[in-house]
Amino acid sequence: MHCLESALAVAMAGHLGGYQWSIGVGLAAIIGGFGWEVSNRWLPGKHPFGDAIDFWAFVAGALTAGVGYAVMT
């Protein structure tokens, strides 16, 4: 899910705002994903999945969509 979220955000940014927006949103997705996974430690409720795996899913989605957009344009 995290991979899809960040990939979709980067792809939409590239489509709507061009190459520069795809880079900016890609960075925001990676930084925001890191912040989300770190903050899960203090959020109420049970988070059963590995935070490192979830973070790398954010990175993989952003990189895949970013490179795909750069190659296609």
Q: How far is CA 46 from CA 39, 40, 43, 63, 71, in A?
A: 13, 9, 9, 29, 40
- pLDDT for residue 51: 79
- pLDDT tens for each residue of 23-59: 999 999 999 999 988 888 777 777 666 678 889 999 9
Dist CA 44 CA 41 (whole Å): 8
- pLDDT for residue 39: 84
Domain ranges across the chain? 2-72
Q: How many CB atoms sit inside 10 A of residue 47's CB?
A: 12
Dist CA 49 CA 24 (whole Å): 28
- pLDDT for residue 43: 75
